[in-house]
């Protein structure tokens, strides 16, 4: 049986990566789709594990070659999902998590209407700002750009099937894991609230 395609979206700093990591550790039927990006690696990020780091020219070639399921520009950089690996996972029966900003999430929703859409957010924009500042991976300018984008992203949360409010980390991890377990065991309809 083919796995499910799962889109996880939400503002930068909401805790998507944190909750996805917890889900991948807890649910063996899940796989993570490693995106390509033109953004510079952060300290500790590994090419091929966290992202496939490409130059803009390389990324544009990948677009021309039709290698992306979706791609978008976010905060001055390009991000995209290589389609082939996603298909391989799905055919192996794995459910695949795509971590996407809103434009990419919408593209996947249109192209793959059976994708399960999960929105992650912090309890407030102030808390999102605190987390981004605490993560200390962005310049002041990049942080402001991400927060400005976050306003529009939160406004789109009704477009999603599920919402996880990441207030307490443990609780939100449990909530996310339960949703993922329900999705891998029953597909989208079983996972609908
Ligand atoms: P995203 O992937 O959505 O950009 P991250 O998972 O990187 O967000 O989380 C942003 C920052 O907030 C990280 O430093 C992370 O450790 C921290 N964080 C995640 N969840 C919580 C939480 N529930 N409470 C406080 N800090 C959190
Ligand atoms: P970051 O630079 O913090 O790793 O990611 C910035 C934003 O890009 C996040 O919202 C993240 O979910 C999103 N993102 C990561 N990979 C992809 C991708 O392949 N496609 C799209 N559209 N967005 C992505």
Count Cβ atoms below 10 Å from residue 67 Cβ, excluding itself: 16
Percent of the chain with pLDDT over 90: 95
Residue spans of the domains in the chain: they are 5-185
75 CB within 6 A, ligand 1: no
Whole-number Å distance between alpha carbons of 51 and 10: 18
pLDDT at 91 over 60: yes
| Length of the chain as a residue count | 193
94 CB within 6 A, ligand 1: no
Atom 10 of ligand 1, residue of closest alpha carbon: 13
166 CB within 6 A, ligand 2: no
Q: Pinpoint the alpha helices (H) of the chain.
A: 16-26, 56-64, 83-91, 102-111, 125-135, 140-155, 169-191
- The residue with greater pLDDT, 189 or 114, is 114
Q: Which among 12, 44, 79, 107 is the best mutation to test ligand 2's pocket, defined by most ligand atoms within 8 Å of the CB? A: 79
Instruction: Give residue 68 CA to ligand 1 midpoint distance, Å.
Output: 27
Q: What is the mean pLDDT of residues 58-81?
A: 98
CA 41 to chain centre: 17
77 CB within 6 A, ligand 1: no
pTM of the entire predicted model: 0.96
Query: Which residue has tokens 């609908």?
Result: 192
Instruction: Give residue 100 CA to ligand 2 midpoint distance, Å.
Output: 5
Under CATH, which architecture does the 5-185 domain have?
3-Layer(aba) Sandwich (3.40)
The 10s digit of each residue's pLDDT in 154-170 is 999 999 999 999 999 99
């Amino acid at each position: 049986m083919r796995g499910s395609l799962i889109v996880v979206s939400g503002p930068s700093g909401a805790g998507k990566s944190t909750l996805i990591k917890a889900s991948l550790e807890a649910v063996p039927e899940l796989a993570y789709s490693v995106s390509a990006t033109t953004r510079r690696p952060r300290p500790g990020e590994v090419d091929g594990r966290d992202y496939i780091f490409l130059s803009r020219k390389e990324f544009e070639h990948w677009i021309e070659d039709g290698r992306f399921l979706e791609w978008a520009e976010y905060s001055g950089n390009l991000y995209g999902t290589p389609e082939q690996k996603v298909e391989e996972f799905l055919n192996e029966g794995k459910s695949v998590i795509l971590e996407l900003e809103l434009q990419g999430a919408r593209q996947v929703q249109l192209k793959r209407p059976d994708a399960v859409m999960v929105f992650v957010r912090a309890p407030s924009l102030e808390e999102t700002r605190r987390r981004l500042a605490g993560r200390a991976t962005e310049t002041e300018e990049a942080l402001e750009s991400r927060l400005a984008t976050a306003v529009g992203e939160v406004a789109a949360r009704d477009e999603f099937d599920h919402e996880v409010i990441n207030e307490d980390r443990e609780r939100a991890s449990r909530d996310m894991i339960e949703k993922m377990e329900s999705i891998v065991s029953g597909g989208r309809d079983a996972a609908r609230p």
